[in-house]
Amino acid sequence: MTVQNTITADVAERDVWRNGHFEADGWHRLADDEAIPADGRVLLSTRRFLAEAAAGTIGNKPVGVLVEPADRVAELAPHLDLLSVIAVDFPKYNDGRGFSHAAQLARLGFAGELRAVGNVLIDQIAFMRRLGFTAFEVTHAVTRRYLIQGKDPAPRHYYQPAVRDEPPAGTRPWLRRAAD
């Protein structure tokens, strides 16, 4: 079997999967030594964001944070209203700390875009959605192809509740049904 790393003409490599299709990504990652542009729309490291927020230099620019696996999400709690996007990094497919970060952000009440970045695979997207992820920066060629083709291997019934509200299925209240 040969896996081809091709992207259709209407889907660019930097597009983000959101609302059931790939959309242009208007955000870019900013290095810690770069100045924040006047229009914002940048993803800052957690450390840089916390420093900028403490100094009061963000103002009303739309900014986001890139949360790495070792970052402490609780430190963002007092500043969630300043964030438009939180991107959670999944550097390896078997690193589950991003799932814990997403659950904690949901408990803290973050209402902006929660984006999964890094090694995002098709099998993980359904579980990421249940934790509140709304956008996915997908670089894995097979996952991109599956999303473009509308293939979604997500289970339709779950035994445990998630962050997202899911209605009970039938007579077993612990069995949940995925939202369609």
- The tokens of 147 are what? 């999303």
Burial of 59 from C-beta contacts in 10 A (0-12 / 13-18 / 19+) = exposed
**Mind listing the pLDDT tens digit for each residue in 87-109?**
999 998 888 899 999 999 999 99
**Mind listing the pLDDT tens digit for each residue in 26-62?**
898 999 999 888 888 999 999 999 999 999 888 888 9
The whole-model pTM stands at 0.80
**Cα separation, 122 vs 2, whole angstroms:** 18
Query: In CATH, which of 3.90.1170.50, 3.40.1360.10, 3.20.20.70, 3.30.56.10 is domain 16-155?
Result: 3.20.20.70
Give the SS3 label for residue 55. Answer: helix
